[in-house]
Amino acid sequence: MAAVFDLDLETEEGSEGEGEPELSPADACPLAELRAAGLEPVGHYEEVELTESSVNPGPERIGPHCFELLRVLGKGNYGKVFQVRKVQGSNLGKIYAMKVLRKAKIVRNAKDTAHTRAERNILESVKHPFIVELAYAFQTGGKLYLILECLSGGELFTHLEREGIFLEDTACFYLSEITLALGHLHSQGIIYRDLKPENIMLSSQGHIKLTDFGLCKESIHEGAVTHTFCGTIEYMAPEILVRSGHNRAVDWWSLGALMYDMLTGSPPFTAENRKKTMDKIIRGKLELPPYLTPDARDLVKKFLKRNPNQRIGGGPGDAADVQRHPFFRHVNWDDLLARRVDPPFRPSLQSEEDVSQFDSHFTKQTPVDSPDDTTLSESANQAFLGFTYVAPSVLDSIKEAFSFQPKLRSPRRLNSSPRTPVSPLKFSPFEGFRPSPGPQELVEPPLPPLLPPPPPPPPSSTAPLPIRPPSGTKKSKRGRGRPGR
Say which of 194, 212, 251, 261 is annotated catalytic.
Answer: 194
Sheet containing 143-149: give its strands across: 67-76, 79-86, 95-102, 143-149, 134-139, 389-390
Nearest CA-CA partner of 406 in 157, 223, 184, 63: 157
Residue 284: left (phi > 0), alpha (psi -120 to 50), or beta? beta
Distance CA 344, CA 98 (A): 28
Question: What residue numbers does the annotated binding site for ATP cover?
Answer: 99
Q: What is the DSSP letter of 134?
A: E
Question: What residue numbers does the annotated binding site cover?
Answer: 99
Distance CA 428, CA 443 (A): 19
**Amino acid (one-letter) located at 57:** P
Tell me the CB-side half-sphere exposure of residue 32, using CA atoms within 13 A.
Answer: 7
Distance CA 348, CA 84 (A): 20
Determine what percent of the chain falls in helix, strand and coil, rounding each to the nearest 5. Answer: 30, 15, 60
Contact between residue 262 and residue 303 where contact means Cβ atoms under 8 Å apart: no
The answer to whether residue 194 is catalytic is: yes
Which string of b and e fits 159-174 if b means at least 16 CB within 10 Å? bbbeeebbebebbbbb
Distance CA 373, CA 469 (A): 37
C-alpha distances out from residue 435 to 124, 186, 189, 314, Å = 10, 23, 20, 33
Distance CA 156, CA 259 (A): 12
Contact between residue 252 and residue 322 where contact means Cβ atoms under 8 Å apart: yes
Residues catalogued as catalytic = 194
